[in-house]
Structure formats: C-alpha cells, structure tokens
Amino acid sequence: MSLAFDDYGRPYIILREQGSKKRMKGLEAYKSNILAAKAIANTLSSSLGPKGMDKMLVSPDGDVSVTNDGATIVEKMEIQHPTAKLLVELSQSQDAEIGDGTTGVVVLAGKLLEQALTLLDKGIHPLKISDGFDRACDVAIKHLENISEEIDIQANEHEALIQAACTALGSKVVSKRKRELGKIAVTAVLDVADLGRKDVNLDLIKIQTKTGGSVEDTRLISGILIDKDMSHPQMVKEVNDAKICLLTCPFEPPKPKTKHNINISSAEDYKKLYLQEQQYFVDMVKLVKDSGANIALCQWGFDDEANHLLLQNNLPAVRWVSGTDVELIAMATGARIIPRFQEITPEKLGKAGSVKEVQFGTSNERMLVIENCQCTKAVTILIRGGSQMIVDEAKRSIHDAICVIRNLIKDNRIVYGGGSAELACAIQVLQYADEVSSVEQYAIRSFADALEGIPSCLADNCGLNPITSVAQAKARQLQENNHRIGIDCMELGTTDMKEQRIYETLSSKKQQIQLATQVVKMILKIDDVIAPDDY
Ligand code: ADP
C-alpha cells in the first residue's frame, strides 16, 4: 500500500494487486474485529473456575494435550485471525508477567467486547467507549486496592500461601491433590526465596516430569534432579564432596572443520593414527583428573573408548546433560562452564555435597540428584503421573501455583476470589457512572456489566443459575457492605469467600483488569483492515 497525490494535491491510497486485497472500514471493521476476538473468549469461558471444563487440543502431528490453562489453550489453537491473535498475546502477557489468571483475562476481555458491540449499535463513537472503559478501569483498580488485605505469609506455617496455591490449583486436573501439591510449591518457593529482598529466582526451581506412578508420588527434592545416569553401569553410584567438571565439549578426538581426507597407505600409518587417537582420550581424561575433579558432566556424548577410560581412571561421568541443566548446575554449584579441555583449572570446578544416582518405582530408570550445592539452593519438583498428558498438565498447574506464591512474596496483598472482587468493583464503577454526565457514562456502566460477567460465568460453569446467583451476591454485598460475597462454586454453604479461603493475588487481579481494558481499547481503535484476500 502506498500514499500518492493527484494533480490537485489530494492524497489517495494505491493498493498493490488491488483485486486480491480485502478491505474493511468503519463500523464493519469494528464489528468484524470484535466478533473474531469474542469467539476466542467464548471458547475459554467454559474453562473458567473450579468447575471449568478442560479442552483437548490435537496438534497437526497428532500430539494430544488436555488442559485448563488459558494461555496454553489459545497458544495451541493456532489462531489465524489478526485481531483474535491479540487475545492470544493478551493471555500470554498475563502468563509472562503474573503466571496465573490467563483464562480470566481473556474472558473479561470478551465480556468487554460484548458490551462494546452493544454500545456501537447504540451509535456511540468507539473513542467515547474506549475513554469510558479507561475511566472505569481506573476506578476499579483503585477500589481493588482499597478492598485488598495484607496477609502474613509466615503465620500458621505459611497457611495463607498454601491457600492461595490451592485456589490456583483448584481448577486444574490435579485439583484432588491440590493441598499436597500446594504445600510442595510453597516449600519449593520458600527454599529458594530471598525474603529480605522479597524476590524469588524461579530459575532455581526445576520442574522435572517423569511418567509413571501417580500424581500423589509427586515430591520435592532439595537439589537438582537430572534425568540422566552415569555413563557406564559400573561407575560408582554416589560421589560425596563432589567437585564437578562441567564440560560443553565432546570427549572425542578433534575433527577437521573443513573437508579433508586422510590417506592411509600402510598398516604402520594406521597404527600411528590409532595410537594418536588413543592419546587424545588419555590426555583428555588426564586433564580432568589433574584438576581435582571427581565427576565430569558433559553436554555432549562420548565415545565408548572414552567411557572405558573414564571407568578405568575412576572418574564417574554423565553424558548428554541438557543445556538448561548445565546452566542451572553452573549457577548452583559455582562451576564455570568449560568449552575446551585445555581450559580446565581447579578454580573452575563446581562443588556440591553429593551427586548420586536414584531409582524410581520398579522401573529400571535412574536419575541423578545433585544435593547441597555450594552457591545457591536449587530445588526440583519431580512430577509423576499416569500419562504424559497428566504430567504435562500437572507441570503447568504447579507452575501457576509457584507464580502465585512468588507474587505474594513480592506483594503480600490479596483479594478474595469467586467473582467477589469483580462484583465489588462493578458496584463501585456503577456508582461512579452516575456522577458522569457525558456520553461516557454508558461505557462506564457497560464496564461494570462486563465485570459482573466473571461471577456470572463462574456460576454458569458450575451449574448454578448465573442471573440469580449474581443478583443475590450483589444484593448481599450492598446490604451487608461486605465485598467478600461471591459465588459458592463448590456448594460449601457459604458465599463468603473469606470463609471459603479463596485467595487471589491483588497483582494478578489488577493486571487482568488493566490488560483486558488495554486490548479492548486497542481493538476499538482499528477502523480500517487491509489484508490479503485469503485472510
Ligand atoms: P485462570 O486461568 O484465570 O486462573 P481458573 O480456571 O483458575 O482461571 O479460574 C480462576 C477463577 O476461579 C477465579 O476467578 C477464582 O476466583 C475462581 N475460583 C477458584 N477457585 C474457586 C472456588 N473454590 N470457589 C469459587 N471460585 C473459585
């Protein structure tokens, strides 16, 4: 597309290959964008909440995943529509920043778009709608801060953190074991947390999955677990006071980088070459041994020849250690990653209390645990489960729980879930709407309606009547001046979310409302779509 001017200086647009382009303008563009984005939100809305449904997604090459995590669902849906892609990014940015609330943010954006569509039909200008939403969002955020409560993360053996983790896990496949998994997540985060700086380096928590056993067998290992074993079955199974040589070069003779041929014309030449190759191996093993290392971890594989020599020299070794593991081990043990054998020196070795091989269940599969690392404490959560699908979903769920706990360590304010916080904000936004005399008033009111959409969706997903449940909860919030009344999804007999202990982080809720509003505003500003015909 390019801009040109006619003889009178009037601008006009030239579209290349005009026949094959599609163009939508004005109201048609707004509506088409909104409908595309809403379709995504509608797909996710049945997954929201503790009784939300899971989705089964099959990739083009036949991999099946079953998940309830919003970010994963939209990512695997392979969405083509450009506006709908904005919602995918919305969910992903919530995932990147907060880690939890990825379904909620898309559902809220969908509700806002639904309202925007009605307002457009009424003839209200998109910019007025966008402005009204913006003002309403500020009011909602302010009110969220007012109703948030600080929790004592240390009290009662970190009970509040466990509850918050349980809320995040409650909607997932693993919800039956939410308390056990919640405790594991809390212990893992507290083990690596720097409470003084209120910071958690999530890289120090490794989540390792292994099919077999059941979800109950999931456990926390205080050390780094790697899914590898010693390179030779006769090597020692445990190295105490380990001095680790961390190599990113293969245990094999150097190979010419360019294409060269070696011509061997006599048996003697062959023998010479053989002996030289042998010498390479001997030298390599010697360099590692001389540095004082008592175990070598190698990112690459090694020849049988090298393996044999390592065994003969009593140097246990591990091959094919993954790149991420190499980095984590380096961070935790203080090892320098060594790219060439000539560079091995005693100072570059990492130190750990022990490196030992462990076996799980009755299978013959072994893993290595590196414990008591010298520099930082790193932990591993070993997730077990009957099938790959279950362990994958359990991994995503535990990741969400870990993020919630990390967020609470950074900022210990919570709001109550079950739609109560959204409902309280909706009431506040409605009150504010009455004070606005301009046309934005309608948009502000619609924003409140969209917020009410969350409790309504929660009620719908657990088989309650959404209209009655939300009306009752709203009336009680107003009568009792109690912002904690929400939807009793689990039918526990109380709608007070404090009694049900449904904790959500203030940071997540704030981010959800802000991000959803931003995306909707962005969609409302698009009034011209020019795309290839097949889009
Ligand atoms: P997300 O991916 O957005 O975290 P979830 O499917 O985990 O979505 O659902 C989160 C929503 O479910 C939140 O609004 C939360 O308040 C609500 N929720 C979670 N557990 C309960 C519960 N036991 N009772 C009522 N609401 C709950």
Q: Is 464 in the pocket of ligand 1 (CB under 6 A)?
A: no
Beta-carbon count within 10 A of 195 CB: 11
Query: Among the options 67, 83, 103, 333, which is catalytic?
Result: 103
pLDDT attached to residue 363: 67
In angstroms, the CA 77 to CA 58 distance is 9
Q: Is 291 in the pocket of ligand 1 (CB under 6 A)?
A: no
pLDDT of 229-242, one tens digit each?
Answer: 888 888 888 889 99
Mean pLDDT, the chain, whole residue set: 86
For residue 522, give the H/E element and its range. Answer: helix 506-524
Query: Among the options 100, 131, 325, 400, which is catalytic?
Result: 400
CA-based nearest residue to 122, from 435, 520, 452, 442? 442
pLDDT for residue 259 is more than 80: no
pLDDT of 151-208, one tens digit each?
Answer: 888 777 788 889 888 888 887 878 888 888 999 999 999 888 888 888 888 888 889 8
Query: Among the options 83, 102, 218, 505, which is catalytic?
Result: 102
Q: Is 400 part of the annotated catalytic residue set? A: yes
pLDDT band, very low/low/confident/very high, at 361 (cuts 50, 70, 90): low
DSSP, res 354 = E
Q: Is 171 in the pocket of ligand 1 (CB under 6 A)?
A: yes
Q: What is the mean pLDDT of residues 240-248?
A: 91
Ligand 1 centroid to Cα of residue 48, in Å, is: 6
Residue minimizing CA distance to atom 3 of ligand 1: 101
**Residue 427 Cα distances to 208, 487, 518, angstroms:** 44, 16, 21
pLDDT of 452-509, one tens digit each?
Answer: 999 999 999 988 999 999 999 999 999 988 899 999 888 888 888 888 888 888 999 9
Please report the atom of ligand 1 found closest to the CA of residue 107. Answer: 3
Ligand 1 centroid to Cα of residue 103, in Å, is: 9
pLDDT attached to residue 20: 63
Please report the atom of ligand 1 found closest to the CA of residue 104. Answer: 3
Q: What is the mean pLDDT of residues 408-431?
A: 91
Q: Is 515 in the pocket of ligand 1 (CB under 6 A)?
A: no
pLDDT attached to residue 137: 95
pLDDT of 143-160, one tens digit each?
Answer: 999 999 888 887 777 888
Return the structure tokens found at 130. 């966008």
Helices (H) and strands (E) in the chain — how many of each? 15, 20
Q: Is 324 part of the annotated catalytic residue set? A: no
CA-based nearest residue to 295, from 226, 360, 376, 205? 226
Beta-carbon count within 10 A of 471 CB: 13
Q: Is 102 part of the annotated catalytic residue set? A: yes
Q: Is 489 in the pocket of ligand 1 (CB under 6 A)?
A: yes
Beta-carbon count within 10 A of 24 CB: 17
Please report the atom of ligand 1 found closest to the CA of residue 168. Answer: 7
How large a percentage of the chain has pLDDT more than 70?
96
pLDDT band, very low/low/confident/very high, at 107 (cuts 50, 70, 90): very high
pLDDT attached to residue 285: 86
Q: Is 469 in the pocket of ligand 1 (CB under 6 A)?
A: no
pLDDT of 310-322, one tens digit each?
Answer: 888 888 999 999 9
Torsion sign across C-alpha atoms 189, 194, 196, 197 = negative
Q: Is 167 part of the annotated catalytic residue set? A: no
Please report the atom of ligand 1 found closest to the CA of residue 71. Answer: 2
Q: Is 325 in the pocket of ligand 1 (CB under 6 A)?
A: no
Q: Is 451 in the pocket of ligand 1 (CB under 6 A)?
A: no
pLDDT attached to residue 534: 62
Q: Is 458 in the pocket of ligand 1 (CB under 6 A)?
A: yes
Ligand 1 centroid to Cα of residue 466, in Å, is: 16
pLDDT attached to residue 456: 93
Please report the atom of ligand 1 found closest to the CA of residue 100. Answer: 4
In angstroms, the CA 480 to CA 497 distance is 14
Q: Is 229 in the pocket of ligand 1 (CB under 6 A)?
A: no
pLDDT attached to residue 424: 93
Residue minimizing CA distance to atom 9 of ligand 1: 49
In angstroms, the CA 261 to CA 331 distance is 42
CA-based nearest residue to 37, from 85, 76, 94, 78? 85
Beta-carbon count within 10 A of 320 CB: 15
Q: Which amino acid is at 470?
A: V
pLDDT of 130-146, one tens digit each?
Answer: 999 999 999 999 999 99
pLDDT attached to residue 19: 56
Which residue is associated with the tokens 């959500």?
A: 504
Q: Is 453 in the pocket of ligand 1 (CB under 6 A)?
A: no
- In the chain, the domains with their CATH numbers are 20-150+416-532 (1.10.560.10), 223-376 (3.50.7.10)
ipTM: 0.96
Q: What is the mean pLDDT of residues 443-449?
A: 94
Choosing from 167, 407, 469, 497 the residue with most ligand 1 atoms within 8 A of its CB, the one to mutate for a pocket test is 167
Ligand 1 centroid to Cα of residue 49, in Å, is: 4
Choosing from 90, 178, 458, 507 the residue with most ligand 1 atoms within 8 A of its CB, the one to mutate for a pocket test is 458
Q: Is 462 in the pocket of ligand 1 (CB under 6 A)?
A: no
